[in-house]
Structure formats: structure tokens, C-alpha cells
Amino acid sequence: MTSLPSQSSTSRIRPASVENRPPFEPAITPITVLGVGNLIMGDDGIGLALLERLEAERPDERITFVDGATGGMELLPVVQEATRLLILDAVAGKEPGKVVSFSGDQVPRLLATKLSPHQVGLLDLFAASRMLGTEPAQVEVVGVVPQVVDLGLELSAPVTAAIDEALRQARAVLDRWLAELDESTEADE
């Protein structure tokens, strides 16, 4: 089994304690990676585990990594300011450990099937962002179907086995977006 990420200090944007949590800062980079989940609810923490690994292997000044935890509507500034938003999360499904990717109009449909309370917040985030005309130009979700969403600090065996594939899919999204940025920079010169 794999342990969930620690709450050690990193350079990413992360929530403070619930009592004195400041609003999340919007991203100032063209790509935002938002990991969501609950570290003490077993497989629900997969989004944060993926975020920690991607951040460690992909330092890039064009990418902001956001630890959204279970932030809900507090994440609205992050969503509103994102141009390209990659969400990492546990997603509903029948086959534990299955890695799924969704993009564009598929994202709200995916989030309509709620796995945990923070997904209600994500659905509301996208509805509010769309209503305000501030939704990201590109949104993709890479998720893993959990086996256990209950009190616990470990990821289940099927979810642990899915980490490499989920990271591969997330890297593919980031590589595509970084290539688009490089092409756009070259065209501007």
C-alpha cells in the first residue's frame, strides 16, 4: 500500500487550517494542476498523491500546482483564472483502480456522479465559473476509481497500482499543453 502525501511544506498553493483559511490565490501561470481529495479518507486522497508526484517531477514556471484538498467554492478564483486546468481526483466508477480521463463538456457530467462531498463543490465551481463567463479555456480530469473511501491514510492496492497510468495520462495532458504554449511563443516571435 502507498501512503498518502505528507503535509510537509512545498511550493504549491495549499489551504490553511479551516478556522483561518485565506481565500485561494488565483494561478498566475498558463497551466494549473488542481489536486483535490481528502487525505484521511483512503482512496479519496489519490488526487493529492498524484499532485505531489507530478509537482516533484515537473517543476516548470508555466505550471501552478494547487492543493485544493476539499476546498469547494473557495477554489473559485483558481478556476476563474485558469486558462488550462488539469484536475486530479478520485472518480466514481465500477472498477477500482481504473484510470479515466475526461475533457471539455464531459467534465460536468463526470462530476454529476458524486463520489464524495468535495465533488459537489467542484460541480458548483464549474457552474459558477460558466455563469460568470470565466471558465477555463481547456479543462481535463484524470481520475482513478477508488476501492475504499473511508477513514484511513493508505491507498488501496488497486489504486496504488493505478498511479503510474494516472501519472502517464496527466503527463500527456501537460506535455500537450506545454507544446501548445511553445508553439504560440514561437508564432509570436
Model pTM above 0.85: no
Angle at 111 between CA 144 and CA 49, to 5 degrees: 35
**pLDDT for the residue 55:** 96
Contact 146, 156 (CB under 8 A): yes
Domain residues of the chain, as ranges?
A: 22-188
**pLDDT for the residue 178:** 96
Q: How far is CA 115 from the centre of its chain?
A: 15
pLDDT in tens, 141-153: 999 999 998 999 9
Distance, in Å, from the CA atom of 110 to the CA atom of 106, rounded to the nearest integer, reads 6
CATH label, 22-188, candidates 3.40.50.2300, 3.40.50.300, 3.40.50.1450, 2.10.109.10: 3.40.50.1450
73 band by pLDDT with thresholds 50, 70 and 90: confident
13-17, 56-60, 123-127, 170-174: segment of lowest average pLDDT: 13-17
